[in-house]
Chains A and B, each alone.
Chain A
Amino acid sequence: MRKTAAIALASILALGVSACSSATSAEESGAGGSYTYTSDQEGVKSLDGVALASTIGELKPAKKYRVAVILKALTNQYWQGIQKGAKAAADKYGVEVTIQAASSEKAQTEQLTIAQTLVGQKFDAYVVAPESTSNLNPALNQMRSQQAPVVNVDDARVPATVFIGPNHEENGIQAADELAKLFPDGGEVAQVEGQSGSSAAILRIKGFKEGVAKHSNLKLVASVPGNWDANASYAAAQQIIRQNPNLKGIYANNDTMAIGVAKAVQESGKKVAVIGTDGVPEAISGVRNESMAATVSPLPYYEGFWAVESAIGLLEGKEIAPWVVAPAQLITKENVDQFYDTEGQVITDLYK
């Protein structure tokens, strides 16, 4: 038995070894490009996403480029929005796009497997939304050695050519500003935090705390974990509302959690303003039916669109600032129709 197994293992191994050496040399002889991979550094030049198209100028791809898009889980409408935008841009410019995502936002090693498999197929450019700041590192190194442009879209920032994403701190600040506007006489506010360790959560928490501190009339009475989870946030909000009878508003670090918070507020019968972040369809209808006061959206559809647009632009030799800033668009009942159709889908020709 041992013998059979050992022989099998050895043969698989040998197959790999012999084949591998040839792969390395093929990799090194790849066409030379001159892309930088420094988009995650402090203080890089930034460009407003809305101005991207005019900065790049006309794009007529010389060939049918192949672009691989590796996203976080498509279980969140936010990432589905990015997926839609990426497809739309690919259709517009006539490039071939392959979109793959992990099965959950916690599947770090699965996403790495997917990424490295795609890298093996040698695409012209890569768009990545890593699960964490480090889980795709080996794949990113391979993309770099292929001299391919890498576009990092949203959330975890990694060394890429261009980063497309919101200023997460700005999301939190916007939420605090809106609460200050809603309650000119001041009041107590609370926060439901995203998954500990997530960079989006860390920055939004920081932004909201700073925003609240800026307005002397607001007082932060609680900041508790909700782990990006609607149920956990529902329970957390029930607690906060019970313990703080004078509570005026709650900011949840994303819409999934804000929806849970809004439910708890509704059941308590109290009037507490709920603000989320992301702009998923359910939150948009929440803003419309006033169960939510607002959501701050980076307009994910455009992030996906701009990501593929940037990848093509880079392949065509255009220069693009290392950080293309996605909007931190405050969506309230007043302006919701300007950005979203009746189905809660973002209007796709806002920035022509």
Chain B
Amino acid sequence: MSNHTTLERKSATETPLSAVRGRLDVAATARQAGLVGVILVLVLGFGLARPLFLDGGNLMNILLQASVVGVLALGQTFVLITGGIDLSIGSTVAMCAVVSGLLSHSLPVPLAIIGGIAVGALAGLVNGLLITMTNITPFIVTLGSMSIYAGIALIIAGGQAVYDIPTGFQDALAGRIAGVPIPVLLFVLLTIVAAVCLKRTVFGEHLTAVGGNAEVARLAGINVKRYTAAAYVLSGAAAGLAGTILVARLGAADPTLGADLLLTAIAATVMGGTKLAGGEGSMYGAAFGAIIIATLTAGLTTLNVQAFYQQVAVGSAIIIALLIDQVARGRR
């Protein structure tokens, strides 16, 4: 529904469209308020069961755990909005981690970090070009590149973790500013930037149009291929940043890193209200989704629930979130 409105905006008069947009905003706000509510309920619930859960260090720790998945979810949201999917982000994290780790041995810290992110963007560009220049679906292309990038990470690292990461690297991305871990600050900042980019810029508008209906978008004069490829570049760059953050946090770059991040990031994205079919997505939703998953994991660990059960809980949370969303939409 949203995709058509985005396009009609060009031809139709201002008033009914801003009304539509207003309605959409109301729906999105309601959903996000719901997600924030879920976070509060979870935090208070776990806090009642285990008061230590409400300890500030623990809450900050949850945000810290959410930040890497959150950054990935922001990137994935761009891709899902175009109707695609990026399965290669976990492997891209590993590849970029290794690259930035190795670069940090010979280059100044900022260049090593930029290098890692640039390799991520490049990996995304390769995905994007393959998808737009061939008829192979995003699922297949990124399934292939998932394996390729994982292999490249192992090859350039020689199968072993890269150590001796300079402390400057660790301080730059894993230190604290005014008590707040830098990954958390980056996560918050990027969420706002990505949200503005998606909802308040021509880029975001066109990207949404491409995902809503590529053919209509093309007829409206939007360069569909360029926008699609750009989404994968953003996703790759986000994975690059996530990889460098992990290197800084762990003080090492492990080529097998990131295997468990892909599905968590996609889960956070869809929990936040982004449609797999494309044409609709929310950056704040993705961020809240990441925080919900991190809160669940931390809370269940606090209650000594084993990881196998935690998977069931996280899976259920995704489905329940989408059910609530559907019911809310049905009513409107």
Contacts and interface: CB of A to CB of B under 8 A. Distances in A.
B17 interface: no
Interface of B: 25, 28-29, 32-33, 36, 39, 50, 52, 54-61, 63-65, 68-69, 154, 157, 159-161, 163, 174, 178-180, 184, 188, 191-192, 195-196, 199, 246, 249-261, 264, 284, 287-288, 291, 294, 297-298, 301-302, 304, 306-308, 310-311
A17 B307 CA distance: 29
A242 B294 CA distance: 49
A108 interface: yes
Given A19-B56, A135-B257, 9 more contacts: A1-B284, A9-B192, A17-B180, A20-B60, A23-B56, A106-B260, A107-B259, A197-B160, A197-B255
Nearest to B68: A109
B61 A197 contact: no
B256 A112 contact: no
17 contacts: A9-B287, A17-B178, A23-B60, A26-B57, A74-B308, A100-B301, A107-B259, A108-B254, A108-B256, A109-B246, A110-B297, A113-B65, A113-B301, A114-B301, A116-B61, A117-B297, A198-B256
A104 interface: yes
A102 interface: yes
A15 interface: yes
Contact of A13 (B69, B160, B180, B288): B180
A266 interface: no
A4 B260 contact: no
A138 B246 CA distance: 10
B254 to A, nearest CB: 5
Contact of B159 (A9, A101, A196): A196
B259 A108 contact: yes
A98 B300 CA distance: 13
A338 interface: no
Interface in A137-194: 137-138
B195 A20 contact: no
B310 A103 contact: yes
Interface of A: 1-2, 4-6, 8-9, 12-13, 15-24, 26-27, 73-74, 98, 100-104, 106-110, 112-114, 116-118, 120-121, 132-135, 137-138, 195-198, 202
Tell me which of A74, A121, A197, A198 has the highest count of chain B C-beta atoms within 10 A of its own C-beta.
Answer: A197
Given A12-B291, A108-B260, A118-B301, A135 B58 contact: no
A114 B259 contact: no
Nearest to A2: B195
Contacts of A110: 260, 264, 297, 307
A117 B33 CA distance: 26
A195 to B, nearest CB: 7
Contacts of B32: 1, 4-5, 8
Nearest to A101: B307
A112 B50 CA distance: 20
Given A21-B179, A104-B260, A8 B60 contact: no
A197 B153 CA distance: 10
Contacts of B304: 98, 100
B252 A120 contact: no
B61 A120 contact: yes
Contact of A19 (B50, B55, B195, B311): B55
B192 A6 contact: yes
A135 B56 contact: no
Contacts of A138: 174, 249-250
Contact of A18 (B56, B255, B258, B301): B56
Contact of B256 (A12, A74, A132, A202): A132
Given A12-B291, A109-B260, A19 B255 contact: no
Given A4-B29, A133-B254, A197-B159, A13 B179 contact: no
Contacts of B33: 4, 8
Contacts of B36: 4-5, 8
Contacts of B246: 109
The listed residue with most B CB atoms (<10 A of its CB), out of A24, A26, A113, A132, is A113
A113 B179 CA distance: 19
Contacts of B258: 108-109
Contacts of A2: 195-196, 199, 284
A27 B257 CA distance: 29
Contacts of B57: 19-20, 23-24, 26-27, 120
